[in-house]
Amino acid sequence: MTPPRQKRAVETRRRILETASEMMAERGPDAVSMREISARLRITKPVLYYYFRDKEALIKAAFEEGTKHFKDVQVEMDQPGLDLEGKLEKIFANHLKFINRYPEMPKCALKIMASPSEGTLAQMARDLKERNRGALRAMLKKENFSPRAAADIVHMISSVITYFMVEAREKGAAAIDRSLPRRLARMICAGARSLKSAAAVLLLLPSLAGAEPVRLGVDQAVELALERNTDVVNAEHGRLIYKEKIREYWGTLYPQLSAAASYTRNIEKPSMFFGGNKISIGSDNAYAASLDLNQILWAGGKVRTGIEMAGIYSDSSSEGLRAAQNGVRKAVTQMYYSVLLSKAMADIQRETLDLSRQHLSVIETRYKQGLASDLALLRQEVEVSNNEPAVTQNLNYYESGLLALKDLLGMDPDAEIELAGGMTCAPGEPGALEDLYRAAMAARPEYRMAKLDKRLAEESVTLEKAGHYPYLNAFASRSFQGQTDSGFPGGDERSWALTAGVKLSLPLFAGGSVSSRVKQADLSRQVAEENLGAAERQLKITVKKAWLELREASQRLASQAAAVETARKALKATEVRFKNGLAGQLDLNDATLALNRAQTLYTQAQHDVCSASAELDWAAGK
């Protein structure tokens, strides 16, 4: 019989693990502190540390508790007499049963998989995944499947299990059909030999498209944004609009053909008086129709100028598209590195927190040996507590940055992405300023648009001046008229006519409106010239600022490269001295803080080099 004290200890340990799993499912392992867990459980931190020496040990224990069912699955799979379909059903049913028993575990598992941490927990998850896949491959090998076929089936099994977890997280475990394990096992086995029905399995799992995180390097992120970003898509639509404008203006050069027809019913016929007698005119029904042709021969240059202006607008919209693409490329690149910076800062703060916990463990040992005071112990506990919020804060920055990046990429905010790159931009001299100026003036779409605006203003002057010139067009018309008191006009009641000619219009006086429009257009041309000069100055300013920032960040990165290793060596030496009683707690915490600062400055410099490189590339029109 188990003693009551031992039962209470087992129950307390179980409560701690369940509460920790629930909190980690809500916020992720890195965002939960031991202080918050003890507060939720209403126990003191010493009690919590009695069962688990630190948070990492607690997370490991929760992880192991949550993965016990994998061993149960292995035992059930080894039962004699089970065919492949029965084994797959056992696997799926066991996972579903576990999810129903521990509804918070799927959330926690998904948080662990999505965690940016590269620490022990992430490694444990990867090791467990590889062990389970190895067991599945061994099972399928006994069934005489080829390595490729076995790999495909393992991927399908993993997809089903991930689907269960995603559905349980989003809709609850009760929403998953209890007959699904059997049906999925049967379907996988039905297509396992030929693999022809593998696609059918995936059709059952439409939500799996977002289950696996999308791995993106910075180049892939930029390519995705150029396809889906709203600003780029709208700029492309604007370019197409002006392409159609060119066709519209060219259309005015071609003959304009129109047709018209009318019918009039004379309810009371019109009359006229002749020699004192009233004479009625017309018939009850009047018909008329015409086919008219017009062709502009000369319009003072308006048509040619209109076509030229439409072409300039089209070129300007194309430059607008390039400007939008370049802007999005810069924004995505800088946001990508900003997210990586938040992740790196979280890792630095996590390492500082781990170091402070290790130092706390050393001080606790010294305290038990009578070599450290209770004040030193309390100070170090405060140091640990002060370091915990920085980890949470940087993880929040990381998540917020991911949301902003997804918005730039045109992705759903709930989509899972994983940044595959790093802040490995090579520092160095950014190149000669004069060369960068020339490159920017040749390639920057904003400067090219300013030049196009000047050309457009010049053409506008020509267009308004055309209001002073004659307008010449040719015309031809084929018309029909007929009148009758009943029905449709007969042969002697209708007539046809065919006319053609040339018309010249000469503006003589318009109250000075044309001259006023010419002056307005000329003033607009002067404004465009000033804007072009300002655009050139602003271009050089932008290039030089980006050049200076890249040079400064490169120099800062070079100066900080050795500082981290030096600070780490100093910390190790201080730790040894502290354990031997040759250094105080203040020395230890100062060395830890120095390492944290050196890492922070070096990481910030790495980010600044990458961000400044993207800024200079944009400024130079690359």
Give the tens place of pLDDT for each residue, 504-526.
Answer: 888 887 778 888 888 888 898 89
Secondary-structure breakdown of the chain: helix, strand, coil percentages, each rounded to the nearest 5: 70, 10, 20
Q: Rounded distance, CA 114 to CA 95, Å? A: 20
What is the reported pLDDT for 287? Answer: 92
Domains detected in the chain? 67-212 (1.10.357)
Whose CA is closest to 418, among 620, 217, 197?
Answer: 217
Least confident of 112-121, 232-241, 426-435: 112-121
pLDDT at 293: 93
If DSSP codes are grouped into helix, strand and coil, which group holds residue 615? helix
Confidence of residue 207 (pLDDT cuts 50, 70, 90): very low
Read off the DSSP letter of residue 426: P
Q: Which two tokens stand for residue 159?
A: 């997809």
- Top mean pLDDT of 93-102, 193-202, 341-350 is at 341-350
- The per-residue pLDDT for 211 is 45
pLDDT score for 477: 94
Separation CA 77–CA 100 (nearest Å): 21
pLDDT at 589: 85
Could you report the per-residue pLDDT of 57-80, keeping only the tens digit for each? 777 777 676 666 566 666 666 666
Where would I find the H helices in 78-204? 84-101, 105-114, 120-142, 147-171, 180-192, 198-203
Residues 6+ apart with CB under 8 A from 600: 345, 348
Average pLDDT estimate for 561-580 = 86
**Letter string b/e over residues 147-172, b meaning 16 or more CB atoms within 10 A of that residue's CB:** eebbebbbebbbbbbbbbbbbbbeee
Beta bridge partners of 278: 273
Euclidean distance between CA atoms 78 and 87, whole angstroms? 9
- Mark 519-532 as b/e (b = at least 16 C-beta within 10 Å): eebbebbeebeebb
CA 604/CA 338 separation, integer angstroms: 10
Q: Can you tell me the mean pLDDT for 108-125?
A: 56
The pLDDT score that the predictor gives to residue 203 is 39
Q: Give the pLDDT band (50/70/90) at residue 208.
A: very low
Quick check: 244 and 314 in contact, CB under 8 A?
Answer: no
In this prediction, residue 580 carries a pLDDT of 81
- What tens digit of pLDDT does each residue of 543-558 get? 899 889 888 888 888 8
What phi and psi, each to the nearest 5 degrees, are found at residue 214? Answer: -85, 120
Q: Residue 390, exposed/middle/buried by CB under 10 A (0-12, 13-18, 19+)?
A: middle
Burial 309-321 (b: 16+ CB within 10 A, else e): bbbbbbbbbbbbb
pLDDT given for residue 192 in this prediction = 57
Percentage of the residues of the chain whose pLDDT score is greater than 90 = 5
Kindly state the tokens that stand for 90: 């056992």
Most confident of 19-28, 431-440, 452-461, 471-480: 471-480
Instruction: Examine the pLDDT at 197 and tell me if it is beyond 50.
Output: no
DSSP letter string, 226-244 = HHH-HHHHHHHHHHHHHHH
Q: What is the pLDDT of residue 108?
A: 62
Q: End-to-end distance of the chain based on CA atoms, in angstroms? A: 77
**Predicted pLDDT of residue 499:** 93
Q: Please state the rounded mean pLDDT for residues 601-610.
A: 89
* CA nearest neighbour of 442 among 616, 622, 236: 622
Cα 334 to chain centroid, rounded: 13
> E-strand spans in 485-575?
494-505
Three-class SS of residue 276?
A: coil
Mean of pLDDT values over 173-178: 72
CA distance 38 to 44: 6
Q: Classify residue 455 as left (phi > 0), alpha (psi -120 to 50) or beta.
A: alpha
Provide the pLDDT for residue 199: 37
**Burial environment of residue 502 by CB neighbours within 10 A (0 to 12, 13 to 18, 19 or more):** exposed
CA–CA separation, 70 and 135 (whole Å): 10
Tokens of 265: 């019913």
The Cα diameter of the chain in Å comes to 142
- 112 phi and psi angles, rounded to 5 deg: -65, -45
Distances (CA, A) of 237 to 230, 241, 320, 371: 11, 6, 11, 75
Q: How far apart are CA 551 and CA 566, in angstroms?
A: 24
> pLDDT confidence of 292, banded at 50, 70, 90?
very high
pLDDT tier, 124 (very low <50, low <70, confident <90, very high otherwise) = low
Rounded CA separation 120/139 (Å) = 29
Work out the mean pLDDT of the chain and round it to a whole number. 79
Of 81-85, 113-117, 276-280, 343-347, where does mean pLDDT reach its minimum? 113-117
pLDDT above 50 for 198 = no
What percentage of the chain has pLDDT greater than the value 70? 84
pTM above 0.75, yes or no: no
**Residue 118 scores a pLDDT above 60:** no
The Cα 276–Cα 98 span in angstroms is 112
pLDDT reading at 239 higher than 80: no
Task: Report which of 75, 61, 72 is spatially closest to residue 24, judged by C-alpha positions.
Answer: 61
Three-class secondary structure of residue 620 per DSSP: coil
Q: What is the pLDDT of residues 439-477, one digit of tens each?
A: 888 888 888 888 888 888 888 888 888 888 888 889 999
Closest CA to 528 of 448, 450, 444: 450
pLDDT of 480: 92
